[in-house]
Amino acid sequence: MKQQQNTYSRYGMLGHFLNGCKRFFIYTIIVSFLVTVFEMLIPQVIRQTVDSVLSDEKMNAPAFVVRLFEDMGGAAYFREHLHIIAIIVMAMALMLAVLIYLRGLTASVSAERLQQNIREDLFAHIERLPFSWHQENKTGDIIQRCTSDAERVRTFISDQMISILRIMIMVVMSLSFMASMNLKLTLIAMIAVPVVVGYSLRFHSSIGKSFEKCDENEGILSTIAQENLTGVRVVRAFGREEFERERFEKQNVYYTGLWVDLMKLLSLFWSVSDFIGGIQILLILVMGSVFCVNGELTAGEFIAFLSYNGMLIWPVRQLGRVISEMSKAGVSIDRIRYIMNSAPEEDKADAVPTEETEKALRGDIVFDHVSFAYEKDQEVLSDISFTIPAGSTLGILGSTGSGKSTLMLLLNRLYDVPEGSGKITIGGVDIADMKAQDLRNNIGMVLQEPFLFSRTVGENIAIRNREMPLEEIRDAARIACVDRTITDFKNGYDTIVGERGVTLSGGQKQRTAIARMLTQKAPVMVFDDSLSAVDAETDAMIRAQLKESLGSSTVILISHRVTTLMQADKIIVLDKGRIVEEGTPKELQTAGGLYQKIYDIQLSFSEEEAS
Ligand SMILES: Nc1ncnc2c1ncn2[C@@H]1O[C@H](COP(=O)(O)OP(=O)(O)O)[C@@H](O)[C@H]1O
Ligand SMILES: [Mg+2]
């Protein structure tokens, strides 16, 4: 099978997820920038007021501001009308509030859009991955990758990357405003930056282990709770309540202790970094006062400087934390990349056209020296060859694990026959050359353990065509001997199946699955032990009705019940992946092989039952 594989790099994959929501992130960045600009301008207004309105310093500002100031009447005018300045400051504060609101809005819209993209892409990709991939990867693990890892990747982009950008803008802008007023004091203010960033980076990297331990123990705690809920019957029946309660309590106490320890460490961190920040402010206060006295700095500049310093030092404390958290996102990105880079099922470019496949599917089915192994060197099927003439019925008998289901998975191409290990042809066409969907559309399969969705019984039967008329659904159900059972439910065919509805017995599920398969009207039909949970009588009845309705279909019947197979045109007997016997039921009955042995045992049992 030709497979087209993604090879996303870490950033390539993030870029892929950002498709279609990039502009929301750009809005967020622009608005964040504007917020910072307004935050920076307010101290400037106060500075000019102190220096050029309340004192007589010459205004030190861009030329157009100075001109505007003079045109309006200069210091003398504003001294008389101080409320104008108050209104300007208030208007700016209002503008700032609006921008902060917009920033919150764009940030959450972009985060949610991104989350939606990640979920959609992951789900769509997982749906296209081959069956063998799903067999190899545990469901719980896939779910975790799609939930907590996906969430961490979203946080990485929409929180952490954006935070870093915002902090950078803040730091660069406050430093440049500071430098425009006094370079020496700016340099003093900057000394603290690497100290604070370095300290918080070190702290947060070292605390990562403690967070992991908390996560792990939360998992253990919820597993105990979950096990007790699902296994409540066993707990009650064996009087284990007290033991389980103590086990839970012990874990709960331990888990709480871990968090308390972690919180102690975090409090220590915040107070130490507050202390460093405090020293820095103290330094600026002392040095600033000295510069003021020396005449290197005006009072207004000093006030503005203190505001900028505040804007500088607090975000810088976050920087170390964000960077150390970002470094942890790599693991999650790789865990999702593993899914996105797994090769989906893809048809050959020169695959056989659909009509040809449909025609071929009405021909003979030939297994030609097929061998197969799930795991290297552990052959499950060895050199299997047989032919099923079109329209005939083949029975397959064999003990559990002899490879019967595997044969059918290969026929349906849920697994591919590896190159050089033989081939399967139908109507002369190698199934490897067909489109997988065409092949599967034309082979109806009832699996040993059928799966029903948590939808209505009717929907479960009409799964291939939601428009199927009820009469057609019921016809199929009648042949499968399940119509009566369903109509006896209070809601009939609208009864919901599964956890939130009725629980069907094993036999009812199997019969529903048979009905589902019959609606497909496929030229090839496979029953993989699909009557095992049905009593012998119903089994016989279903078989009799099937015989009438199957018409010209080619049928494969897999069973461990000899009676089920007796009407087959030919039977093959599998043992440990090899064909050990084949022939008509009559021939095998007296051949003295495995079939006869099983036949004798099972028939003597049913005679006993009868007597
Ligand atoms: N996904 C799998 N990975 C590895 N081994 C498997 C897998 N599925 C089945 N097997 C093994 O292949 C052998 C044949 O299994 P199967 O075809 O299901 O037998 P049957 O249907 O006759 O009971 C068994 O030994 C089984 O353990
Ligand atoms: Mg099986």
Ligand 1 contact via 174 beta carbon (within 6 Å):
no
Q: Is residue 418 part of a domain?
A: yes
Cβ–Cβ under 8 Å, residues 179 and 188: no
Q: Is residue 355 part of a domain?
A: no
In a shared domain, residues 121 and 224? no
In a shared domain, residues 198 and 288? yes
350 alpha carbon to ligand 2 midpoint, in Å? 33
Burial 442-465 (b: 16+ CB within 10 A, else e): bbbbbbbebebeeebbbbbbbbee
Determine the Cα–Cα distance for residues 374 and 381; give it in Å rounded to an integer. 10
Q: Is residue 489 part of a domain?
A: yes
In a shared domain, residues 121 and 15? yes
In a shared domain, residues 407 and 340? no
Ligand 1 contact via 559 beta carbon (within 6 Å):
no
Ligand 1 contact via 511 beta carbon (within 6 Å):
no
Whose CA is closest to atom 18 on ligand 1? 405
Encoded tokens for 522? 């496929």
Q: Is residue 143 part of a domain?
A: yes
The atom of ligand 1 lying closest to the CA of 400 is 23
373 alpha carbon to ligand 1 midpoint, in Å? 9
Q: Is the pLDDT of residue 551 over 80?
A: no
CB under 8 Å to 352, separation ≥6 — which residues?
A: 360, 429, 433, 434, 435, 438
Q: Report the candidate in 150, 154, 132, 152 with the shortest Cα–Cα distance to residue 142.
A: 150
Ligand 1 contact via 315 beta carbon (within 6 Å):
no
In a shared domain, residues 273 and 219? yes
Q: C-alpha distances in angstroms, 414 versus 147, 432, 437, 476, 558? A: 27, 11, 11, 26, 18
In a shared domain, residues 503 and 458? yes
Of 377, 405, 557, which is best to mutate to test ligand 1, by the most ligand atoms within 8 angstroms of its C-beta? 405
**Lowest mean per-residue pLDDT among 485-489, 547-551, 554-558:** 547-551
Residue 23 binned pLDDT confidence (cut-offs 50, 70, 90) = very high
410 alpha carbon to ligand 1 midpoint, in Å? 12
Q: Is residue 308 part of a domain?
A: no
Whose CA is closest to atom 1 on ligand 1? 135
Q: Is 497 left (phi over 0), alpha (psi -120 to 50) or beta?
A: beta
135 alpha carbon to ligand 1 midpoint, in Å? 12
pTM of the model as a whole: 0.79
493 alpha carbon to ligand 2 midpoint, in Å? 29
The reported pLDDT for the residue numbered 342 is 93
In a shared domain, residues 164 and 221? no
Whose CA is closest to atom 24 on ligand 1? 401
Q: Is residue 91 part of a domain?
A: yes
Mean pLDDT of the residues in the chain: 89
Q: pLDDT tens digit string along 400-427?
A: 899 999 999 999 999 999 999 999 999 9
For 564, counting Cβ atoms within 10 Å of its Cβ (0-12 exposed, 13-18 middle, 19+ buried), the class is buried
Of 374, 409, 414, 572, which is best to mutate to test ligand 1, by the most ligand atoms within 8 angstroms of its C-beta? 374
* Mean pLDDT of the 487-494 span: 91
Q: Is residue 302 part of a domain?
A: no
In a shared domain, residues 341 and 464? no
Ligand nearest to the CA of 135: 1
Total structural domains within the chain = 4
Residue 357 binned pLDDT confidence (cut-offs 50, 70, 90) = very high
The reported pLDDT for the residue numbered 88 is 92
Q: pLDDT tens digit string along 65-74?
A: 889 888 888 8
CB under 8 Å to 38, separation ≥6 — which residues?
A: 92, 95, 96, 99
Q: Is the pLDDT of residue 161 over 60?
A: yes
**Coil, strand or helix: which one is 348?**
coil
Q: Is the pLDDT of residue 2 over 50?
A: no
What is the CATH number for 516? Answer: 3.40.50.300
In a shared domain, residues 13 and 112? yes
554 alpha carbon to ligand 1 midpoint, in Å? 24
In a shared domain, residues 194 and 244? yes
454 alpha carbon to ligand 2 midpoint, in Å? 24
Q: Is residue 319 part of a domain?
A: no
Q: How many CB atoms lie within 10 A of CB 228?
A: 17
Ligand nearest to the CA of 530: 2
The atom of ligand 1 lying closest to the CA of 409 is 17
Q: pLDDT tens digit string along 249-299?
A: 999 999 999 999 989 988 998 889 889 889 999 999 999 999 999 999 999
What is the CATH number for 103? Answer: 1.20.1560.10
CB under 8 Å to 63, separation ≥6 — which residues?
A: none
In a shared domain, residues 514 and 571? no
* Mean pLDDT of the 592-596 span: 87
In a shared domain, residues 389 and 435? yes
Ligand 1 contact via 577 beta carbon (within 6 Å):
no
Ligand 1 contact via 530 beta carbon (within 6 Å):
no
Ligand nearest to the CA of 574: 1
Range of the domain at 19: 1-179+330-346
What sign results for the dihedral spanned by CA atoms 53, 54, 56, 60? negative
446 alpha carbon to ligand 1 midpoint, in Å? 17
529 alpha carbon to ligand 2 midpoint, in Å? 7
